[in-house]
Structure 1
């Protein structure tokens, strides 16, 4: 391999691209290619190496006693810690014939001493390494909002009045349109504008009568943009002219609406504002369905911007809540609405369902109210949600199921049964219910049920141990090699996401924490000193990585018109994604050990 090839190879491996030209040249001059056969032991606690290894071909396993901790593949490097600290507790053994670069120890330590970026990567804790790798992985992604068109954002219906209209009549019409902007039509394709500020200046301050014709104060012509113009161009015009709104015209020059500066700024800051406005303004189920249909595009936009997954899920969760609330309002008669509470549960209740995967919802009815009168409306809600693109729950956890549509007292009987006669189904029902969140109706009904649940769990340590044991239900790979060499696909929800969710849910249930989102629960548990800061931060980073990879796989399946599931193709992962996944699994396995210790799971049968 030529010097140029060596330089190109190293430059593609973080953090070697941070080296200066001189440092890179020196590194290459003191670097050799080495070969080691399968089963060769490279590093042990008794044998500290004199080189830093960078793999060209082959696989190396890192062991702690007999347990494989990490596997190293093409472009992976090791072991900085033993060189920096002069000791290690682990062993490194060749699993598949190894060809690698060996960089002399003295040169490696010299690079750490003289290059802050290089030094920070190897000396940072795991959380900082996570952030560094994620920044590198996603920094170059193109933000799709830069190519958004005017028609992609929210447009306000135009309040148009003809030339000669009395000002008082124009103001009355604007109030009907719920707008402060009046468009005056002078002639074909020729328009003027009257705003609130103009009314203050030209009418109130000048003492004019409201019976004057609108053209006497209208500013003409109104500045306009075309529906096909880029939104960024509209923003440029608004800033350049120092105005708050522009008219929007079609290709024939006819006014289609007005575009407000605040809407444009909101679009660039957060595309959810557009969908939020459409949901808010929906007057029928048809309008609401159209707005709901844009949620996937919103997810794509936010993901392209590099917005963290838990922020995306929180925003989408809020939008979903508004959709549910509107459906409840449209479907359930007004006189019945406040005698019940519509709740979402599971991932929806935790604000962690990003793509519409399935429904988890229920209805809590006030004691003394006839539940039967709600059943036909609950069936309609389920059918409406299916029509909106929310698939039915395979476990039938939906308001149309009588089991999930009953009175407060009936739910209290269920929670008592779940606790006193525990089995796997009861554990899962309790877990789903504990994550419930009120979206419409009388929210006090759910608060009452949560209070009752917490009271029932007092001094139920054995039950909590069994409940927490579900954290261990699915195996989490100890190394990426566990699945990289055996299969292409892995269920990232079962192996990584679920253990964090269930473990944190168990701790939160024991600590009577009402918050439902996993991220906020972790932060509260840290504040309560249940989780050490380091573990809490590691869990937050791992949870973000796992859900980011999960979302990426979901969006790819949507693009390929495939059924959404939680499997990721491990062979499609880039090196940085593989490193992030590897460290995430390490954190999940450590968390499982923590849960086992805290709840004394090893003491139960």
Structure 2
């Protein structure tokens, strides 16, 4: 193999592509090609190698002290940096298939770490940073302003700020100097409010108020804000969620530095999201709403192709789906009945984690004393419309058309009591789905009441919680390439990775009485409460992103090819970096399962 071939080979392997030409030449100078037959032992706790290995062909298995395979390495994989850096190794590395590899001398490897910060960070930082580095490498060609743009990357308008007792006419004069129609009001307690042109028309012109009144009398408090270093995409999601045209921008100390206008965010992204949002809001008939909701798949394709993180896509699509549900509820259900009930979504929809329409989980909570029967024809009609819109029916019939999921508050309370007092697998599943519920229309206080009741019932129910959490272990999670590269090529990523994270975090959230439904936000809250360590939280967030990204990519390919949408990924079509990302993510899932077992003392129950 020529020097040019060696350089080309190394340049494909993170983090060797970060080396300068001089460092690459130095690396190649101290690197040789070696051959080891099958069953050769390369590294043991008693015998640390003086080389860093990079596989050209063949495979190596890493064994723990109890002789279990904890990792396997194939072409373009490398090992073992830890033994060279720290001078010790707790595992054994043995050749599984005849090995041809590069051997980089220890002193050269350590010198590269000393001379190149990016090279050093890859091997010395934790698994989270390794995953981030690999993701950067995999998606660099797809990165766009969608993925990396921050709020301060776009136009931020200078804020016209006045004190709360400023006369309105003086504030208006100042806003004219700033050439803006927006006035920001700062209260004495530091909270910001806002006055817009439309507010002036309603609160001053129509009500005939005097222009000498203090601005605090008509300002709306508090003003919604974002940080200047927030992702711009998060600001867009907030604007759409709250149906507002602008937000304040603050620095890390909470000081107002400007105004972000919706029109500027939209011009930055120039995508179809706002058009769909407007269509949903303006829909006057079921047919109008159907046409609007049909555009969601195009948004998903566009955002995914541009490298937007799955979490951001699910948040945005979740908000749009919520608006579809709200609109269909308002179009189908008579106004009086709308106020006497609460329409909820559950499961992945309730967690805001269903991007592609795979099924629907929804229910209705009716106020006590109101006849549930009068709602049934309307609920059946809603399900018919949703199916027509492309929301597939739930195979388990967890839909509002099912009388089981259309009840009064008292009937739901009796149901949750039964789930807890006489638990079986179905009851655990129903409770899990219900706990993830999110109110989208009607009287949301009805659901809040039910959640309060559920939390009270679970007080001191440690054994129940242990069985509930045990579901985290339902499906085996492979830890090595050879295990997940199955003969059928298919790996159900939901069973082996997504579900264990969701259920484990859901169990912790239920025990901690956390009302938030999304898995990502639950992880962050659990970290804040000290239930999981900061490093573990970061690992789970990265792993959750990786496996959901792979699932979404596969689902979009299935749609394009006209195939059934499922949760399986074809492991044999994964690129080298995707395979590494999956391998590291599955390792995190396995460790998380052990953590849940310990946290809920699952090994103590039968």
In structure 2, the CA distance between the partners of 1:122 and 1:271, relative to structure 1 (3 Å rule), is farther
2:600 alignment counterpart: 599
Determine the C-alpha separation between the residues in 2 that align with 1:333 and 1:82: 70
2:314 alignment counterpart: 313
Determine the C-alpha separation between the residues in 2 that align with 1:483 and 1:366: 49
**Structure 1 residue 130, shift from structure 2 partner:** 1.3
Determine the C-alpha separation between the residues in 1 that align with 2:461 and 2:265: 54
CA RMSD for the aligned pairs? 1.8
The CA deviation string for residues 96-126 of structure 1, in whole angstroms up to 9 with x for no partner, is 1111111111111111111111111111111
In structure 2, the CA distance between the partners of 1:339 and 1:464, relative to structure 1 (3 Å rule), is same
Determine the C-alpha separation between the residues in 2 that align with 1:263 and 1:86: 55
1:377 alignment counterpart: 378
**Structure 1 residue 380, shift from structure 2 partner:** 0.5
In structure 2, the CA distance between the partners of 1:512 and 1:270, relative to structure 1 (3 Å rule), is farther
2:12 alignment counterpart: 12
Counterparts of 1:103-252 in structure 2 under 5 Å?
103-141=104-142
Match status 1:28 vs 2:28: yes
Maintained 8 Å contact 1:488/1:570: yes
Determine the C-alpha separation between the residues in 1 that align with 2:425 and 2:122: 44
The CA deviation string for residues 205-250 of structure 1, in whole angstroms up to 9 with x for no partner, is xxxxxxxxxxxxxxxxxxxxxxxxxxxxxxxxxxxxxxxxxxxxxx
1:583 alignment counterpart: 584
Maintained 8 Å contact 1:143/1:301: no
**Structure 1 residue 325, shift from structure 2 partner:** 0.3
**Structure 1 residue 267, shift from structure 2 partner:** 6.3
**Structure 1 residue 21, shift from structure 2 partner:** 1.4
Maintained 8 Å contact 2:266/2:274: no
**Structure 1 residue 27, shift from structure 2 partner:** 1.4
- Larger radius of gyration between Structure 1 and Structure 2: 1
Determine the C-alpha separation between the residues in 2 that align with 1:265 and 1:517: 26
SS in 1 for 2:94: strand
Maintained 8 Å contact 2:318/2:355: yes
Maintained 8 Å contact 1:61/1:92: yes
Determine the C-alpha separation between the residues in 2 that align with 1:261 and 1:120: 38
Determine the C-alpha separation between the residues in 2 that align with 1:359 and 1:542: 25
Maintained 8 Å contact 1:488/1:569: yes
Determine the C-alpha separation between the residues in 2 that align with 1:275 and 1:526: 36
**Structure 1 residue 457, shift from structure 2 partner:** 0.4
Give the gaps of 5 or more residues in structure 1. 147-179, 181-195, 197-259
Determine the C-alpha separation between the residues in 2 that align with 1:521 and 1:590: 18
SS in 1 for 2:141: coil
Maintained 8 Å contact 1:137/1:576: yes
Counterparts of 1:346-495 in structure 2 under 5 Å?
346-484=347-485, 486-495=487-496
Length-normalised TM-score, structure 1: 0.80
Maintained 8 Å contact 1:35/1:100: yes
Maintained 8 Å contact 1:59/1:74: yes
In structure 2, the CA distance between the partners of 1:487 and 1:42, relative to structure 1 (3 Å rule), is farther
Determine the C-alpha separation between the residues in 1 that align with 2:287 and 2:589: 43
**Structure 1 residue 36, shift from structure 2 partner:** 1.1
2:80 alignment counterpart: 79
The CA deviation string for residues 233-273 of structure 1, in whole angstroms up to 9 with x for no partner, is xxxxxxxxxxxxxxxxxxxxxxxxxxx99278356166422
Length-normalised TM-score, structure 2: 0.79
Determine the C-alpha separation between the residues in 2 that align with 1:445 and 1:294: 32
1:39 alignment counterpart: 39
Determine the C-alpha separation between the residues in 2 that align with 1:132 and 1:364: 46
Determine the C-alpha separation between the residues in 1 that align with 2:580 and 2:352: 27
In structure 2, the CA distance between the partners of 1:263 and 1:109, relative to structure 1 (3 Å rule), is closer
The CA deviation string for residues 540-563 of structure 1, in whole angstroms up to 9 with x for no partner, is 110011101111111111111111
Determine the C-alpha separation between the residues in 2 that align with 1:271 and 1:124: 39
Determine the C-alpha separation between the residues in 2 that align with 1:273 and 1:521: 28
1:68 alignment counterpart: 69
SS in 2 for 1:290: helix
SS in 2 for 1:55: strand
**Structure 1 residue 445, shift from structure 2 partner:** 0.5
Maintained 8 Å contact 2:146/2:308: no
SS in 1 for 2:410: helix
SS in 1 for 2:279: helix
Maintained 8 Å contact 2:368/2:408: yes
**Structure 1 residue 298, shift from structure 2 partner:** 0.8
2:302 alignment counterpart: 301
The CA deviation string for residues 476-505 of structure 1, in whole angstroms up to 9 with x for no partner, is 002121021544110000000000000000
**Structure 1 residue 371, shift from structure 2 partner:** 0.6
Determine the C-alpha separation between the residues in 2 that align with 1:116 and 1:291: 49
Give the gaps of 5 or more residues in structure 2. 148-180, 182-196, 198-260
Maintained 8 Å contact 1:266/1:273: no
SS in 2 for 1:139: helix
Determine the C-alpha separation between the residues in 2 that align with 1:381 and 1:114: 64
SS in 2 for 1:140: helix
Determine the C-alpha separation between the residues in 1 that align with 2:488 and 2:101: 26
1:216 alignment counterpart: none
The CA deviation string for residues 405-431 of structure 1, in whole angstroms up to 9 with x for no partner, is 111111111100000000000000000
Determine the C-alpha separation between the residues in 2 that align with 1:144 and 1:120: 25
Maintained 8 Å contact 2:479/2:586: yes
Determine the C-alpha separation between the residues in 2 that align with 1:142 and 1:560: 25
Maintained 8 Å contact 2:145/2:269: no
SS in 2 for 1:392: coil
Determine the C-alpha separation between the residues in 2 that align with 1:284 and 1:58: 62
